[in-house]
């Protein structure tokens, strides 16, 4: 990774390459990019910035202090806020500050061509007031809490789903034009053909993630289970009630929040990864990371797990804990090389960035001069021909699916 160029909110954001499309990438304000441990969105943003910068795009990453990137880095807030995730105070402060910087750049004759938001609700709600068109990646679900929000504000940006499952759940009248998956950099994840005799569950200690169900399945199968992940604010009661009593230091162990080489090692050496979720998770990066290491998945077919897990090829779909424990016995029949291949053909970072380049191109071409503070839209030329699609099921075609 190249050394970052850190700028202050009042610096002139001049182009790295004159004439290159200018992209403002908004990470969430809570933790640095890339994340040191837990941080799925931050990991996605890190990969997108690296690949876009390597293709010659002029990218500025707006993120929490401590962030590093091949893109230029701007940190509008004085510090990160890992213990205040979701705080309206800090999210509002962050987004307003970023939009002020973008508008000032436009007034100084250095407009951004597109804003790519990963930061959350505030940036979308205020997207109509910033001087560049906004692409908003939908990292969260459509549910009873978020549907009214997207019905009111979804038209203010181009919405991009991260799975077909998520796209299909869009409320009536909310236009989600594109589907582009989250990326993985395969070379970051070691392929391991010979596995240790333990199962892995990794995620937030939230009941919908199903750590307690993983415990039940592993106990019934008589297998060792390693649990890993953060216990975030509001999750301590669940952990104390449903998880801690089962931790025996032998069959059921808790590794805590892990990152770096330890995280990769846990994924690579596991015999299988358990995904007993009971909600329509939009993507599920842990599944992709496990598969990249050649580790098969046993999952409930909820949300994007139906797409990521190809039954009988890179894992199994099961209905409940009973079926999960039975499926564990079949993990040795899954080829680790096929697991990794199933990621390479659908979620490799190059394929994903092809898709986003196509999205940016459409947004830039459709932007009005008034919205962009410039005379005319400029075409964005992709390095590769074609663009990325999230294949449904096992197909691996690399063409962006545009639903408009």
> pLDDT band at 36, cuts 50/70/90?
confident
CB 391 within 8 A of CB 397: yes
Mean pLDDT score of the chain: 87
pLDDT at 345 over 90: yes
pLDDT tens sequence across 299-315: 999 999 999 999 999 99
Per-residue model confidence as pLDDT tens digits over 285-344 = 999 999 999 999 999 999 999 999 999 999 999 999 999 999 999 999 999 999 999 999
Distance CA(120)–CA(3), nearest Å, equals 27
- Give the per-residue pLDDT at 12: 37
- Please name each of the domains of the chain with its CATH number: 5-183+348-402 (3.40.50.2000), 186-345 (3.40.50.2000)
pLDDT, position 19: 59
Q: Looking at the predicted structure, is the pLDDT value of residue 16 above 80?
A: no
**Cα distance between the two ends of the chain:** 37
Answer for the pair 91, 124: CB distance below 8 angstroms, yes or no. no
HEC sequence for 230-295: CCCCCCHHHHHHHHHHHCCCCCEEECCCCCHHHHHHHHHHCCEEEECCCCCCCCCHHHHHHHHCCC
| Pairwise pLDDT comparison (17 vs 8), residue with the higher score | 17
Adjacent-strand bridge partners of 58: 22
362-404 tens-digit pLDDT: 999 988 654 444 443 444 444 433 334 443 333 333 333 333 3
What is the average pLDDT across 90-118? 96
User: Tens digits of per-residue pLDDT, 143-166?
Assistant: 999 999 999 999 999 999 999 999
CA distance 31 to 34: 8
> With a threshold of 0.85, does the pTM exceed it?
no
pLDDT at 264: 95
| pLDDT tens digits, one per residue of 38-89 | 678 999 999 999 999 999 999 999 999 999 999 999 999 999 998 888 899 9
297 and 319 Cβ atoms separated by less than 8 Å: no
- The pLDDT of residue 82 is 87
Task: Find, among 176, 375, 14, the residue nearest to 367 by Cα.
Answer: 375
> Do residues 150 and 174 lie in contact, with contact meaning Cβ atoms separated by under 8 Å?
yes
Could you tell me the strand order of the sheet in which 198-202 lies?
252-254, 224-228, 198-202, 272-275, 297-299, 315-317
CA distance 97 to 91: 10
- Asked whether the beta carbons of 260 and 234 are under 8 A apart, the reply is no
pLDDT for the residue 367: 82
pLDDT tens figures, 189-219: 999 999 999 999 999 999 999 999 999 999 9
Mean pLDDT of 241-268: 95
pLDDT in tens, 269-282: 999 999 999 988 99
């Amino acid at each position: 990774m190249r050394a970052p160029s850190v700028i202050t909110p009042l610096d002139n954001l001049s182009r790295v390459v004159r004439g290159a499309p200018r992209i403002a990438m908004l990470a969430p304000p809570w933790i640095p990019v890339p994340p040191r441990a837990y941080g799925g969105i931050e990991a996605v943003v890190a990969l997108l910035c690296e690949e876009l910068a390597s293709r010659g795009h002029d990218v500025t990453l707006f993120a929490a202090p401590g962030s590093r990137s091949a893109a230029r880095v701007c940190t509008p807030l004085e510090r990160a806020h890992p213990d205040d995730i979701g705080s309206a105070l800090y999210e509002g402060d962050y987004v307003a500050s970023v939009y002020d910087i973008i508008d000032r750049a436009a007034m100084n004759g250095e407009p951004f061509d597109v804003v790519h938001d990963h930061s959350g609700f505030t940036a979308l709600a205020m997207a109509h007031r910033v001087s560049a068109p906004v692409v908003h990646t939908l990292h969260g679900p459509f549910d009873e809490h978020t549907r009214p929000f997207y019905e009111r504000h979804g038209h203010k940006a181009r919405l991009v789903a991260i799975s077909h499952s998520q796209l299909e759940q869009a409320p009536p009248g909310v236009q989600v034009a594109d589907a582009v998956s989250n990326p993985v950099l395969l070379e970051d994840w070691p392929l391991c053909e010979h596995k240790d005799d333990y199962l892995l569950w990794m995620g937030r200690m939230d009941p919908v993630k199903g750590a307690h169900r993983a415990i039940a399945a592993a106990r019934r199968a008589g297998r060792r289970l390693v649990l890993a992940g953060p216990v975030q604010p509001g999750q301590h009661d669940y952990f104390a009630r449903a998880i801690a009593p089962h931790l025996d230091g032998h069959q059921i162990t808790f590794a805590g929040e892990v990152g770096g080489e330890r995280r990769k090692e846990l994924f690579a050496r596991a015999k299988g990864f358990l995904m007993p979720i009971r909600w329509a998770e939009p993507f599920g990066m842990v599944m992709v990371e496990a598969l990249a290491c050649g580790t098969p998945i046993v999952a409930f077919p909820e949300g994007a797990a139906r797409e990521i897990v190809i039954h009988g090829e890179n894992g199994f779909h099961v209905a409940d804990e009973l079926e999960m424990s039975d499926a564990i016995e079949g993990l040795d029949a899954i080829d680790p090389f096929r697991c990794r291949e199933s990621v390479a053909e659908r979620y490799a970072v190059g394929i994903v960035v092809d898709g986003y380049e196509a999205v940016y191109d459409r947004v830039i071409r459709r932007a009005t001069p008034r919205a962009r503070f410039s005379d005319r839209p400029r075409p964005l030329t992709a390095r590769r021909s074609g663009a990325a699609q999230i294949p449904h099921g096992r197909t691996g075609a690399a063409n962006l699916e545009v639903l408009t």
